[in-house]
């Protein structure tokens, strides 16, 4: 008979704190990790703190200053409605970053729970849950995004739901595969024999073993979500005007691409590119940090 003491001994890692410190050092050892993390912090500061410093209304334009190039009054110029481009880039970043990060974390949470239940229960439940995932994966995500976005009135909450609805599928398959490997380990079997509750088994014995893989997957999902919200907005299916976001502003700038109004095209495009690169750099850094073979 396995006792609770044996279970605890099997699951306690004496050098857990040291391992976390080594993981953190491996993360910073990868040069792009620091660049990516600092870049994300700066993007959030630009989008959420910037409007508190740069007091210019991004929603009401100045009709006496239409399509003005960058100047001291308007550092990034104005658009065809007299809106200050810098102010719109700041406020537009709030929606893009909120939707990108929150949708990815919602997808991570739901996909992790779904995959754990499927892998842990097994049998016909696992078969049914995975067939549902297979069916949804067989449908191009862009069609699901377009259908949901065209059916309901777009807002931040809906955009988070729409993007999360197509992002959790891959996470669930990854988590299920990890759980299938982990649940046959001695310490998990010992925990089951000792009568550990299901939720405690998941949180204490399963999640710590695959959380690194899920976090890496989530960072790339963040990048995909930021790009998807920009793509939907570019197609006119994102957040309705006058609410600014980088994708919508980039789409609007296409009308003036042959008028040399470069200040309308480059700022949103560059910010989307920077956000994508920074998130991917952090994801690569996490992958390197969690790979013990890099020691």
Q: Which CATH number characterizes residue 107's domain?
A: 1.10.3720.10
Domain-located, residue 7:
no
Domain-located, residue 12:
no
Q: 166-220, pLDDT tens digit by residue?
A: 888 888 888 888 888 887 777 777 776 677 776 777 777 777 777 778 888 888 8
State how far the Cα of 290 lies from the Cα of 12, in Å rounded to an integer. 19
Domain-located, residue 257:
yes
Q: 242-275, pLDDT tens digit by residue?
A: 678 888 888 878 777 777 888 888 888 899 889 9
Domain-located, residue 69:
no
Domain-located, residue 63:
no
| Domains contained in the chain, number | 1
Q: Residue 128 — very low, low, confident or very high, per pLDDT cuts 50/70/90?
A: very high
Q: 50-89, pLDDT tens digit by residue?
A: 999 998 888 887 777 788 888 888 898 888 888 888 999 9
DSSP 142-178: HHHHHHHHHHS---HHHHHHHHHHHHHHHHHHHHHHH
**Which of 18-22, 62-66, 113-117 has the weakest average pLDDT?**
18-22
Q: Is 185 exposed, middle or buried (0-12, 13-18, 19+ CB in 10 A)?
A: middle
Q: Residue 291 — very low, low, confident or very high, per pLDDT cuts 50/70/90?
A: low
Give 278 or 63, the one with higher predicted confidence: 278
Q: 29-38, pLDDT tens digit by residue?
A: 778 888 999 9
Domain-located, residue 144:
yes
Tell me the average pLDDT across 220-226: 83
Domain that holds residue 132: 22-54+74-294
State how far the Cα of 175 lies from the Cα of 178, in Å rounded to an integer. 5
Q: Flag whether pLDDT at 132 surpasses 50.
A: yes
Q: Two tokens at 194?
A: 């000792």
State how far the Cα of 266 lies from the Cα of 260, in Å rounded to an integer. 11
Q: Flag whether pLDDT at 283 surpasses 50.
A: yes
pTM, full prediction:
0.77
Tell me the average pLDDT across 101-122: 88
Domain-located, residue 9:
no
Please give the pLDDT value at position 228.
80
User: Mean pLDDT in the chain?
Assistant: 80
Residues 6+ apart with CB under 8 A from 136: 144, 169
State how far the Cα of 246 lies from the Cα of 244, in Å rounded to an integer. 7
Q: Flag whether pLDDT at 141 surpasses 80.
A: no
Tell me the average pLDDT across 101-106: 90
Instruction: Name the nearest CA neighbour of 107 among 24, 245, 220, 258.
Output: 220
Tell me the average pLDDT across 284-293: 70
Domain-located, residue 16:
no
């Amino acid at each position: 008979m396995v006792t609770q003491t044996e279970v605890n001994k099997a699951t306690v890692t004496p050098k857990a704190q040291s391992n976390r410190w080594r993981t953190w050092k491996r993360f910073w050892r990868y040069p792009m990790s620091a660049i990516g993390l600092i870049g994300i912090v700066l993007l959030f500061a630009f989008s959420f703190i910037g409007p508190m410093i740069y007091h210019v209304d991004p929603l009401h334009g100045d009709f006496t200053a239409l399509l003005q190039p960058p100047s001291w009054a308007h550092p990034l110029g104005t658009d065809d409605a007299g809106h200050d481009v810098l102010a719109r880039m700041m406020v537009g970043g709030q929606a893009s970053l909120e939707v990108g990060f929150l949708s990815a974390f919602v997808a991570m949470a739901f996909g992790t729970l779904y995959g754990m239940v499927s892998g842990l229960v097994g049998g016909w439940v696992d078969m049914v849950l995975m067939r549902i995932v297979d069916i949804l994966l067989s449908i191009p995500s862009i069609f699901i995004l377009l259908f949901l976005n065209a059916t309901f009135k777009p807002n931040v909450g809906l955009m988070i739901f729409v993007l999360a609805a197509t992002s959790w599928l891959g996470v669930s398959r990854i988590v299920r595969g990890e759980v299938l490997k982990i649940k046959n380990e001695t310490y998990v079997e010992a925990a089951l024999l000792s009568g550990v509750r299901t939720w405690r088994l998941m949180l204490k014995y399963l999640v710590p073993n695959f959380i690194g893989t899920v976090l890496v997957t989530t960072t790339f999902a963040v990048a995909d979500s930021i790009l998807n919200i920009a793509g939907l907005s570019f197609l006119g299916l994102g957040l309705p005007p006058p609410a600014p976001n980088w994708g919508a502003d980039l789409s609007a700038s296409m009308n003036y691409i042959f008028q040399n109004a470069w200040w309308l095209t480059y700022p949103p495009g560059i910010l989307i590119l920077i956000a994508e690169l920074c998130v991917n750099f952090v994801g690569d850094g996490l992958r390197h940090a969690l790979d013990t073979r890099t020691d």
